[in-house]
Structure 1
Amino acid sequence: MDQIDSTDLAVLEAEYKKFKAVKSRSLLKKYLTQDVFDKLKHRVTASGATLYDCIKSGLANPDSSIGVYAPDAESYTLFHELYDPIIDEYHGGFSPKEYHPGINFGTADALGDLNEWGNYVVSTRVRCARSIEGYPFNPLMTSEHYAELEQDVENALDMLDDDLAGYYRSLNRITIQEQDELIAGHLLFKRGDRFLEAADACRFWPDGRGIFLNSDNTLVIWVNEEDHLRIISMQEGGDLAQVYDRFVRAVTALGNRLPFSFSQRLGFLSFCPTNLGTAIRASVHIRLPNLGKDKRILEDAADQFNLQVRGTAGEHSEAKDYTFDISNRRRLGLTEIECLQEMYDGVKEIIRLEKSMDKGNSRSRKNSTY
């Protein structure tokens, strides 16, 4: 194991000293004690990652909920004294002695159409993060890494066929106007937010970044955004079974051609520890005018099914017109189909609550005197 050089160590120690004096509710603040810091501050991964690379975003943004990223796959083991308790708490209990279960996509037949109970779901998507073995993550990627990885992925994408077939376009070959149109249609990613910027995840932008779209824009693949790959199956409406079936076929086809980075303990490895395990995020954009007026009931229902509620523009955004993005929070310690089932069951319950509030409001209007 390499040792950090004296200049980098001095910067790390100075930044940590400042962070200790700052108020923060992040998991980084909770678990990076002085003892843990002293134990980890000299370590360097084979790719050159230091503790500072892992925590610099959380140091710069004390309002982070997590505060750490992984600059390469080895960081999860070399700095495990920090990552382990953060992973355990975020994923609802996953101790250092536990192992992620084997891959099990199950069958889409176990799911259904969420709009069966009313036209509440605007759109549905299932996505996952994937990293490619042999490459570090964004903060340590060189210009050559970006070019090589993009070419490897483009070659694999060319092999997709039937309804998965489409075309890949590098961001360098898309006009700003076209990018804005794709972003407005929730198809393309923006340059990283302040959390990713602080983590050095946007280096050499937009080199090596791009988007793949199939013919009807129901399969979208992002290259070198936050992770090496984001594989997304999406469509309007609430037919989760159809969306998941397409997703599984796309992930399987690409996994047969690209070596995804995988750990027996943590599952698929990704830049952010919230996306470990299955690395799957299944979500709906759903309009809830009644629950939107009483977020407490919505949040309580979501918590019961380990779901996350946020705005439709992504993390840290606000809901507009009572339309929310609701997704599974847990990705680690359960199989792929279990992630989907948890989200499916939770959204069904939220729709039931919304409908019951509709009926309650209707009764109130009938009982009112004018």
Structure 2
Amino acid sequence: FMDKIIESYHGHKPTDKHLSSMDYNQLDCPPFPADEDKMINSTRIRVARNLADYPLGTAVTRSQRKEIETLVVSALNEFKGELKGKYFSLETMTDADKKQLIADHFLFKGGDKYLESAGLERDWPEARGIFHNDAKTFLVWVNEEDQLRIISMQKGSDIHAVFKRLSVAASKIEEKAKFANDEHFGYISTCPTNMGTGLRASVHINLPKLMNNKALHQSIADKYHVQIRGIH
């Protein structure tokens, strides 16, 4: 059943093996020409990850969810240099921290009816939280839809720098917390749409004239297999 869903969405057949690399040295991404670069406000890349030694969030127990948080936070607390930052527990964060995280568009919230129906918001907000580095160019969501959402972002169009930060951080986390991976499915995620690399890359881009023709805008997105999403 799952194979049929995955083949329909991704074109990945039941006999296919998933191949991907998180090695930033293999990323061939030359700078954009100046006339294109000026249109890009920011670049963001995230990956969804779950831990190999635990069930997915739909089946994880309360104690296991706490163990996941403890394990991941211990890895995050070892970050140095540009990755060094602070973890904010949803249970214990101050009102001031909450307001700032909302202002930064970093905070994830409960109350999603689809996540609730799948059992992903049990014991909310226990053992959930957000880490961000001091520069606010790197985030980790803990125990939301997936056990980890690892996010790298910055102003401008430097895709290589954004991916390198993500790659380095994910590798450091995995030194303590092995990610669930399968040779057929790739990285295991809660939703089949995130199977494979579990990666989504996006740019916040200025296209004021194109936005005046939404039908054309959507047809171009469909042609290149990209999605038009919100600004946050």
> Residue 29 of structure 2 corresponds to which residue in structure 1?
111
Separation of aligned partners in 1, 2:98 and 2:33: 31
SS at match of 1:154: helix
SS at match of 1:213: strand
> Residue 41 of structure 2 corresponds to which residue in structure 1?
122
Q: For each residue in 1:315-338, what CA deviation from the matched residue of structure 2 results, as whole angstroms up to 9, or x when unmatched?
A: xxxxxxxxxxxxxxxxxxxxxxxx
Q: Is the 8 A contact 2:185 2:196 kept in 1?
A: yes
> Residue 212 of structure 1 corresponds to which residue in structure 2?
131
> Residue 260 of structure 1 corresponds to which residue in structure 2?
179
Tell me by how many angstroms 1:118 deviates: 4.5
Separation of aligned partners in 1, 2:110 and 2:41: 25
Instruction: Report how many aligned residue pairs link the two structures.
Output: 231
Are 2:161 and 1:274 equivalent residues in the alignment?
Answer: no
Give the partner amino acid of 1:236.
K
CA RMSD of aligned residues (A): 1.9
Separation of aligned partners in 1, 2:22 and 2:57: 28
Q: Is the 8 A contact 1:108 1:242 kept in 2?
A: no
TM-score normalized by the length of structure 1: 0.59
Separation of aligned partners in 1, 2:56 and 2:180: 11
> Residue 102 of structure 2 corresponds to which residue in structure 1?
183
> Residue 115 of structure 2 corresponds to which residue in structure 1?
196
Separation of aligned partners in 1, 2:37 and 2:92: 42
Tell me by how many angstroms 1:214 deviates: 1.0
Separation of aligned partners in 1, 2:158 and 2:26: 10
Separation of aligned partners in 2, 1:175 and 1:108: 42
SS at match of 1:138: coil
The correspondence of residues 116-265 of structure 1 with structure 2, limited to 5 A, is: 116=34, 117-265=36-184
Q: Is the 8 A contact 1:114 1:240 kept in 2?
A: no
Q: Which runs of 5+ in 1 are unaligned?
A: 1-81, 314-370
> Residue 97 of structure 1 corresponds to which residue in structure 2?
15
Separation of aligned partners in 1, 2:108 and 2:16: 34
Q: Is the 8 A contact 2:89 2:129 kept in 1?
A: yes
Q: For each residue in 1:94-137, what CA deviation from the matched residue of structure 2 results, as whole angstroms up to 9, or x when unmatched?
A: 11111101535353762245583242222211110110122222
Q: Which runs of 5+ in 2 are unaligned?
A: none
Q: 1:180 to 1:88 in 2, by over 3 A?
A: farther
Q: 1:108 to 1:185 in 2, by over 3 A?
A: farther
The correspondence of residues 55-94 of structure 1 with structure 2, limited to 5 A, is: 82-91=1-10, 93-94=11-12
Q: Is the 8 A contact 1:192 1:201 kept in 2?
A: no
Separation of aligned partners in 2, 1:114 and 1:184: 30
Q: Is the 8 A contact 2:45 2:162 kept in 1?
A: yes
